[in-house]
Structure 1
Amino acid sequence: MAKHSPVIGRYVTIEVDGCEYKVFYLRNGHGIPLVCQHTAGCHNHQWRDLLEDAELTQKYDVIAYDLARHGKSDPPLNKEWWKEEYRLTADHYMKFIVTLCDALELRDPIFMGSSFGGNIALQLARHYPDRFRAVVPVEAADYAPGFFLDWWHHPHANAAQVCASGTWDLMAPQSPEKDRWLTWHYYTQGSEAFKGDLYFYSVDHDMREQLRDIDTNRCPVIMMTGTYDYLTPPEATEKTASQIPGGVYIEMEDIGHFPMSENYPLFRKYLKEALRLIDERT
């Protein structure tokens, strides 16, 4: 007998900075909206286990979307996008998320993102504190220079293999083999957008002088990083959280840079603690 998932996928069309995007998202649950951003060069499959979590989706309306140019969300429909280099900026990234939340009529959502999605969570807390109940930056820091490199698109390199192979060292050896392979597989599919994502991650994202401007009374910030993440080491996340008045840091043991897809059962334990802390503060 076929077993159907409760997760539903839909498209919504939004306009951001004069560009029209048809955005694909997966959704399941009831209650407080929990909006999830995937990592750079990837897509919303990373959040599948959370989307199918029967306990958490009783309280949270989980929405995991594909950023434009990723997964099933195409580049802009009304623009000759192939004539210019894709470089994601913080301003456009934030507008995209806020516009999407408005289009879905989400009221006071929690925003959670990982890696470059975690970094944009910090930006949202700083610039849009009244639009979100709280943010959960996962594997994030105030500054992450050095990764916007030309060889991501070098003609002598297989970009898909280069992007995917980098995931292995960033995952914990304790994570299940099948889930590590799936995370690797996701990255073989998103290499074309990866370099442009890293423009935001390593060039346009710099919050070293802005962290103290984040008002956690208006938008609580709960940061989480895995002990096996050398891209954003735990000490970088802890230092970032310590400079945010009221910021909270949770260190996740035995997990790496892709916690929601490489070892969801372990990530779930830490996520429940983050959500509990948000409940206390809102």
Structure 2
Amino acid sequence: MQIAIIGAGHVGSALAGTLTKAGYRVAVANSRGKESLSDFTRRTGALACDMAGIAMGADILIIAIPLCHVPNLPASVLAHLAAHAVVVDANNYYPARDGRIAAIDAGQVESDWVANQFGRPVIKAFNNIIADHLAHRGGSAGIAGRIALPVSGDDPESRRTIMTIVDAIGFTPFDAGTIAESWRQQPGQPAYCTDPTIDELRDLLHRADRQAAIRNRDKSVRLMAKLPSDYPSDQLVRVARLFVGLDKWKPATWAALLRLGITVLRHRS
């Protein structure tokens, strides 16, 4: 199976590395051309391609770029994509980064908007986990605490295809239903960046709240702006889990919250 990735940022890099290690043939393209990807290919083992040819021969096309750039993708990308190929939306909407997208602000599900830009269905996956954990926190099936990732989409066969890939790179796949339900794994929701197990994920998706998610998303963005770029991702996940009611009795959780508070206060001073 050949997998193409558009985007060489944190998520694109994490996926390229884990997919290559799992035995998939992976090609990556970005807006700057394949000459800019020499270090990327050495780190991940993926093949660098120009945007014009990235979709040729691909069975899976993963979009891992800021949402605001999706409408600007060259038409040739989809023109070269086979009819059977599955398109995966690994993006998230952050107005502070992407600007305002009126349709999404009016209530359209993010991945439904992406599908409209492409003119073909998409699968939502790989968007609710910190990139560093996507790269390094996968584990064998059956191990305790294995992180579960939701996969949403309207075509059951396409969902199963991506769920197989999720499992192959070390995470427990969870069938999260149709694209209309994929809002449950968007930023600000309980399932977002909390590294849940399969049982936890099922409950967190059920508890999702569309209105609260917008407030939580924007608060998180403001908080992240106050932290150094190298702030430990595992500390952020611990705090995120606490805020959704998980790990309340673990001392490490409260230590992570205290560390976060101290860091924010130092930033203010």
Relative to its length, the structure with more helix (as a share) is: 2
Asked if these proteins are the same fold (TM beyond 0.5), I'd say no
Relative to its length, the structure with more strand (as a share) is: 1
Which structure's relative contact order is higher, taking Cα pairs within 8 Å and 6+ residues apart?
1
TM-score (norm 2): 0.30
